[in-house]
């Protein structure tokens, strides 16, 4: 095969003529992210995560076959942002609750989320109602997480070459279907292979676990960032004035506050340079002074959360959403996929803990009204910073807060940056 020269971001590269761009770029030490591209399959071009520019035109990189003199842009600021936006759209389009997902830690989409540095999505989550098909003998398909990459469709076949997965409907309504008869013919290892090649947690095998402990996860071995030891607070930057901090927990589990407290003795250093105003840590209920920074845990689920968040925006110079619930609703937002009336009926009338024959859904003027869905904080007020994690670890939170307050240098260590 003839070798040809081409350019990527102004660098001369060479590869076999006709070779797929993603493979050719890799061969030249350039990584182009992709989710649907898989082995020697025909270019699928369905996820668009590999969007690059060929001779100035945006196109899916996996559909390009290398030819002499091609001029390809891959890592320009515009393309990096385009690919990030495409991924963000995938996250909001499905119901991706990473902290409770079986594939968390072993998921290619999640890994790309980390690699592209997604901390929050600029688009609102759709919280669509999707079907989970568990009728097949071993395989479960969770439509909530499917990105329609077609890998399962193209790759998984029975020994007599029948397809197991197929697509039904078109556009937004497309779903992956399972041919139960063919699925029953798959061996145990073939079923597990289907789970493995799915780039998300959409295909699972009953009774098989895919999650991995921290330290052994796909993205735990990444670029090491520099972290600042906690005891190096630059007190000079504060001009002798203590900075004022407020915190609150809206619709969250209080886990982010527990993480805040996890710095243990570091708190003693901290209170030399900051003072806490309104926060459950001091039990100060109302703002008595304007604060430099407000740390918000949890999203907005009821009218009280809404009022508290507005008060934080009014009384704090900088607001930081901490943790998944604050950033996009997190686990409380699981209810967003279910009509509110059904949620209330289940919680107050039909659940095991309801009083027998009790038929009252609490409703009193003193009780905050529950909202139609759980909102992320930046849907309600302007949020200046987002710290992902469920919960983020304590050093991570305080390093970011110190960085904001005292303008210290900070690079977050890659393994610390987690949202699952
Ligand atoms: S781990 Fe992957 S599939 Fe599961 S919710 Fe997160 S992104 Fe979606
Ligand atoms: S089920 Fe998984 S492999 Fe199949 S199309 Fe959806 S995301 Fe891709």
The predicted-structure confidence for 149-190, as pLDDT tens digits, reads as follows: 989 988 999 999 999 999 999 887 889 999 999 999 999 999
**Whole-angstrom distance between the N-terminal and C-terminal Cα of the chain?**
45
- Cβ of residue 319 lying under 6 Å from some atom of ligand 2: no
Q: Which ligand is nearest to the CA of 167?
A: 2
**Residue 275, Cα to own-chain centre: how many angstroms?**
32
- Cβ of residue 198 lying under 6 Å from some atom of ligand 2: yes
C-alpha distance from residue 392 to each of 72, 236, 331, 399, 417 (Å): 38, 28, 15, 11, 8
Phi, psi of 20 (to 5 degrees): -60, 135
Q: Which fold has domain 3-75?
A: Ubiquitin-like (UB roll) (3.10.20)
Which atom of ligand 1 is found nearest the CA of 107? Answer: 2
* β pairing state of 291-297 and 243-249: parallel
- pLDDT truncated to tens, each residue of the chain (420 aa)? 789 999 999 999 999 999 999 999 999 999 999 998 887 666 677 899 999 999 999 999 999 999 999 999 999 999 999 999 999 999 999 999 888 888 988 899 998 888 888 888 999 999 988 899 999 999 999 999 999 998 998 899 999 999 999 999 988 788 999 999 999 999 999 999 999 999 999 999 998 877 677 667 766 665 444 344 444 444 545 566 889 999 999 999 999 999 999 888 888 888 888 999 999 988 899 999 999 999 999 999 999 999 999 999 999 999 999 999 999 999 999 999 999 999 999 888 888 777 777 778 888 999 999 999 999 999 999 999 998 888 988 888 888 888 888 776 666 666 666 667
The residue contributing the CA closest to ligand 1 atom 8 is: 96
Top mutation candidate among 47, 147, 174 for ligand 2, by most atoms within 8 Å of CB: 147
Whether the CB-CB separation of 266 and 341 falls below 8 Å is answered with no
Q: Which fold has domain 235-416?
A: Rossmann fold (3.40.50)
Q: How far is the CA of 388 from the centre of ligand 2 (A)?
A: 26
- Cβ of residue 202 lying under 6 Å from some atom of ligand 2: yes
- Cβ of residue 203 lying under 6 Å from some atom of ligand 2: yes
* 413, HSE (Cβ side, Cα atoms, 13 Å): 15
Top mutation candidate among 145, 148, 195 for ligand 1, by most atoms within 8 Å of CB: 145
Following CA atoms 43, 46, 50, 56 in sequence, which dihedral angle do they give, to the nearest 10 degrees? 90
CATH code of the domain made up of 92-205: 3.30.70.20
Q: How far is the CA of 74 from the centre of ligand 1 (A)?
A: 26
Q: How far is the CA of 222 from the centre of ligand 2 (A)?
A: 26
Q: How far is the CA of 102 from the centre of ligand 1 (A)?
A: 8
The residue contributing the CA closest to ligand 2 atom 2 is: 198
Give the tens place of pLDDT for each residue, 304-324. Answer: 999 999 999 999 999 999 999
Q: Which ligand is nearest to the CA of 197?
A: 2
Which atom of ligand 2 is found nearest the CA of 194? Answer: 3
All structural domains of the chain with their residue ranges: 3-75, 92-205, 235-416
């Amino acid at each position: 095969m003839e070798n040809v020269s081409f350019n990527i971001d102004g660098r001369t590269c060479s590869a076999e003529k006709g070779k797929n761009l993603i493979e050719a770029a890799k061969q030249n030490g350039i990584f182009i992210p992709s989710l649907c591209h898989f082995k020697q399959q025909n270019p699928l071009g369905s996820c668009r995560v590999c969007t690059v520019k060929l001779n100035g035109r945006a196109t899916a990189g996996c559909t390009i076959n290398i030819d002499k003199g091609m001029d390809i842009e891959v890592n320009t600021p515009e393309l990096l942002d385009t690919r990030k936006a495409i991924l963000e759209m995938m996250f909001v389009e499905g119901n991706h609750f990473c902290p409770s997902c079986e594939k968390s830690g072993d998921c290619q989409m999640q890994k790309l989320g980390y690699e592209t540095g997604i901390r929050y999505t600029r688009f609102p989550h759709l919280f669509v109602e999707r079907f989970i098909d568990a009728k097949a003998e071993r395989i479960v398909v969770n439509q909530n997480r499917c990105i329609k990459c077609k890998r399962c469709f193209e790759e998984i076949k029975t020994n007599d070459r029948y397809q197991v997965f197929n697509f039904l409907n078109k556009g937004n309504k497309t779903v992956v279907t399972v041919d139960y008869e063919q699925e029953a013919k798959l061996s145990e290892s073939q079923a597990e292979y289907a789970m493995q090649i799915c780039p998300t947690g959409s295909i699972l095998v009953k009774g098989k676990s895919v999650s991995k402990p921290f330290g052994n996860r796909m993205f735990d071995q990444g670029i090491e960032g520099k972290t600042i030891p906690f005891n190096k607070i630059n007190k000079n930057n504060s001009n002798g004035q203590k900075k004022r901090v407020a915190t609150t927990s809206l619709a969250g589990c209080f886990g982010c506050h527990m993480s805040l407290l996890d710095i243990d003795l570091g708190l003693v250093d901290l209170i030399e340079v900051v003072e806490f105003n309104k926060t459950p840590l001091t039990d100060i209920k109302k703002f008595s002074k304007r604060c430099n920074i407000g740390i918000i845990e949890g999203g907005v689920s009821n009218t009280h959360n809404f009022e508290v968040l507005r008060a934080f925006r009014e009384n704090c110079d900088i607001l930081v959403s901490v943790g998944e619930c604050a950033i996009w609703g997190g686990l409380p937002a699981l209810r967003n996929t279910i009509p509110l009336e059904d949620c209330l009926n289940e919680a107050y009338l039909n659940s095991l803990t309801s009083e027998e024959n009790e038929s009252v859904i609490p409703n009193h003027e003193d009780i905050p009204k529950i909202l139609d869905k759980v909102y992320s904080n930046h849907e309600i007020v302007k949020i200046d910073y987002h710290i992902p994690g469920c919960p983020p670890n304590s050093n991570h939170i305080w390093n970011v807060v110190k960085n904001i307050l005292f303008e210290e240098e900070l690079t977050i260590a890659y393994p610390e940056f987690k949202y699952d």
